[in-house]
Amino acid sequence: MTDMKVKITSNPAPAHWGDKALVSLSGNDITLHIRDDADRLRSIRKAARQIDNLGIPSVTLSGEWSVIEQVTFVMSFSKARNPGEVTLCDNAERAEAERQVTAMMFTRKLTNDTPEQLSPVGLAQESADWLQSLNGDAVTYRVVSGEQLAAEGWTGIYNVGRGSERPPAMLELDYNPGGDPEAPVAFALVGKGITFDSGGYSLKSSEGMLDMKCDMGGAATVTGALGLAIMQGLNKRVKLFLCCAENLVSGHAYKLGDVLTYKNGVSVEIVNTDAEGRLVLADGLIAASESAAGCIIDAATLTGAATVALGYDYHAVFSLNPVLSQSFLSEAQTQQELFWPLPLQSWHQEKCPSAFADTANSRPQKGGGAGGASNAAGFLSRFVSPTDSWLHLDLAAAYHGSANSEMPAGATAAGIRTLAAFIGQ
């Protein structure tokens, strides 16, 4: 089939296509009729899905498209299996659009990989290799794995991952463009990298387990964001910590009733082995705090409660510093990505009580009980210092188990543009 050209206009479609048609075709030309500025990107996503559903294998964008519009079209047109090809507009903004697509496609591919393809060590190594390929002179890293995690005191990652034959791992990566080992760390990024989550002994249902290859979406998101920022010329020092493990059942797996004691002295009773993400993130947050970063941001597909609150369209934002969270939300608005604040107070630390430890890792009830997303954020706040420079992102919109009218099935890569812009500002 001949390559189709796709242009965008605010004019309505010819009458025979219908008053509300988003797409019309004429020969080798496809026109997107996008009239609603308030919902412009949503309409572009819908039009892209309609074109892909026609079985058109390749298109070229032509005419007047902004960077965000081009990237939005690509991410909705390109499904996981047999994706169509998109040639971006040949204009001055093409290079930036290509950078954004590259980063988002890396994140999408990493998140969509099967659990067999992507082990914890593999996730750490693949992320490091990609970032090093973007600016090798500025990137150094090490991967701590297996028993070495226990030896160094990274108790959360070690215990969550010890039930698997494939060892857990922590990636510690330093992007230091100036090369000065004494340079201050502007940002520390922490990502949840659970490459498969069975729930452990708090076993998930088969239906609930099906999409758990995406439980490393936080790690993929912060890696993609750092990569995009590097491609955009990031000149600040940033450290990246990926907390990688498979949460499986075995004779060596951690169990309900265990008590873990972290490097900062906080003891945690395990009341739900399916609340494992916060256990691995705790190690990453301690490491990020040790770096004395000016701002710490963690990202995780952490709770079903965030999805209940926000659906699959928004990422949740938590912070004990309203000025910091508002600054991030303002950047999200500029980037036209959907984030929404959920409540967090210092007393949320007390919402997971334990008679045997400083805290439990959840509440012993389905979904962690009422306010589960805020309670999880409160748990994480125990491992951050200082808390007023910390943002927690619960990525409710990171993955769609099935296609809808706007997005193909699988990873969305949503949030990368905002994170990259925020650390690069």
pLDDT tens-place string over residues 378-401: 999 999 999 999 999 999 999 999
Are both 63 and 123 inside the same structural domain? Answer: no
For residues 377 and 298, give the distance between their C-alpha atoms in angstroms, rounded to a whole number.
10
Q: What percent of the chain has pLDDT over 70?
A: 100
Whether 161 maps to a domain, the answer reads yes
Separation CA 135–CA 120 (nearest Å): 23
Task: Indicate whether 11 pLDDT > 60.
Answer: yes
Residue 261 belongs to some domain of the structure: yes
* 313 within some domain: yes
Closest CA to 419 of 270, 162, 232: 232
pLDDT at residue 10 in the model: 92
Give the residue among 261, 258, 277, 279 at the shortest CA–CA distance from 269.
258
| Res 2: pLDDT | 64
Same domain assignment for residues 55 and 125 = no
Strand spans (E) along 205-332: 238-247, 259-261, 267-269, 295-300, 315-318
Out of 91, 117, 143, pick the residue that ends a domain: 91
Q: Which two tokens stand for residue 16?
A: 């025979």
Closest CA to 262 of 286, 245, 240: 286
**In this structure, are 82 and 115 located in the same domain?**
no
* 182, 69: one domain: no
292 φψ region: left (φ > 0), alpha (ψ -120 to 50), beta (else): left
Verify that 128 and 33 share a domain, yes or no.
no
Beta pairing partners, 268: 260, 359
Note the pLDDT of residue 283: 98
Instruction: Kindly state the helix (H) or strand (E) to which residue 393 belongs, with its residue range.
Output: strand 390-394
> pLDDT tens across 109-133, in order?
999 999 999 999 999 999 999 999 9
Is 39 part of any domain?
yes
Q: How many domains does the chain have?
A: 2
Burial 254-275 (b: 16+ CB within 10 A, else e): beeebebebbbebebbbbbbbb
CATH of the domain at 419: 3.40.630.10
Residues 12 and 138 in one domain: no
Write down which residue in 33, 59, 91 finishes a domain. Answer: 91
Q: What is the pLDDT of residue 225?
A: 98
Q: Quick one: 57 and 147 in the same domain?
A: no
57 and 120 both lie in a single domain: no
What's the pLDDT at 352?
A: 96
Looking at the domain assignment, is residue 315 inside a domain?
yes
Tens-place pLDDT, residues 17-67 = 998 899 999 999 999 999 878 899 999 999 999 999 999 999 999 999 999
For position 1, what pLDDT does the model report? 53
At residue 348, the 3 state secondary structure works out as helix
Question: How many whole angstroms separate alpha carbon 167 and alpha carbon 343?
Answer: 35
- pLDDT, tens digit (0-9, with 9 covering 90-100), for 170-201: 999 999 999 999 999 999 999 999 999 999 99
- Per-residue pLDDT, 105: 98
Q: Is 263 a catalytic site residue? A: no
Whether 305 is covered by a domain: the verdict is: yes
What is the arithmetic mean of pLDDT over 74-91? 94
Catalytic residue among 5, 79, 109, 204: 204
Q: How many CB atoms lie within 10 A of CB 55?
A: 9
Confidence (pLDDT) at 36: 75
Lowest mean pLDDT across 52-56, 69-73, 212-216, 246-250 = 52-56
The C-alpha atoms of residue 128 and residue 425 are separated, in whole angstroms, by 23
pLDDT per residue as tens digits for the range 304-334: 999 999 999 999 999 999 999 999 999 999 9
Specify if 20 maps to a domain.
yes
User: 349 with 295, same domain?
Assistant: yes
Q: Are residues 313 and 249 in the same domain?
A: yes
Strand pairing partners for 140?
A: 174
Distance CA 156, CA 142 (A): 18
For residue 328, the enclosing domain spans 105-424
Nearest one of 10, 62, 5, 56 to 33, comparing CA atoms = 10
Cα 192 to Cα 156, 157, 276, 335, distances in angstroms: 12, 10, 10, 24
Q: Which structure tokens are listed for 218? A: 């936080």
Tell me, yes or no, if 278 is annotated catalytic: yes
Judged by DSSP in three states, 388 sits in helix
Annotated catalytic residue within 45, 49, 278, 363: 278
Measured CA to CA, the distance from residue 246 to residue 244 in angstroms comes to 7
Nearest in space to 223 (alpha carbons), one of 146, 284, 311: 284
| Cα–Cα nearest to 267, from 352, 355, 359 | 359
Last residue in a domain, options 39, 61, 91:
91
170 and 216 share a domain?
A: yes
311 and 225 both lie in a single domain: yes
How does the average pLDDT of the chain come out, rounded?
Answer: 96
Is residue 98 included in any domain, yes or no? no
In this structure, what token pair is assigned to residue 319?
């912070």
Neighbours of 404 (CB within 10 A): 12
Token duo for residue 234: 């990031």
